[in-house]
Amino acid sequence: MTTPDLPLVEGAQLALISGSAVEELQVLLERCEDFEILVTGHPPGPYAAQALLTDAPPDHPLRDKFVIGAWTDHGLTAAVELLRDFPERHVWYLGLLLVAPEDRGQRLGERILAAVKTWIISQDGRAVRLIVQDQNPAALRFWLAHGFVPIGTATQELMDRTNTVTRLELKP
């Protein structure tokens, strides 16, 4: 898979996460277990990182899935999961923006989001969509503050839990 260089982020180095960084990604997911518990009701399992790298919706090519990491002086500090052309052409789905607890509140997520938007536009992306679980009002405030607008609600069916979610969209 060929991808252009990712934009620069002040205080972090962005790069696509590959299988060689799966252990670092697993550590990040475990450090951010508060998010996983909030969404699913339980901490990440021992293969959560591998699943994040390889799981995609049925009939969606894995070549159009990107997991981007942000490395800082603390190591792998943040991760973003993206699907290109999902659910339709030129629309990107942002499945996850996760920042380590010790780095939250320092605008790292905001800087990563700005870089990711630039990259999506360079990839001919015309919209970014995501969902926010109702039990995560801080995330909803973050996305709304960065230009995302509500486009509906839905029900998210997980293995052990059902969440009501707000669907959001941004047209960069």
Torsion of CA 65, 71, 76, 82, to 10 degrees: -20
Provide the residue ranges of all domains of the chain, joining segments of one domain with +: 13-127
pLDDT at 151: 98
Residue 30 identity (one-letter amino acid): E
Write out 42-87 in H/E/C secondary structure.
Answer: CCCCCCHHHHHHHCCCCCCCHHHEEEEEEEECCEEEEEEEEECCCC
For the entire predicted model, the pTM comes to 0.93
pLDDT at 2: 40
pLDDT at 92: 97
Q: Which of 130, 140, 144, 135 is nearest to 163 (CA)?
A: 135
pLDDT at 96: 96
CATH 3.40.50.880 assigned to domain 13-127? The reply is no
CA dist., res. 2 & res. 139, Å (int)? 31
Give the residues of the chain that fall short of pLDDT 70. 1-4
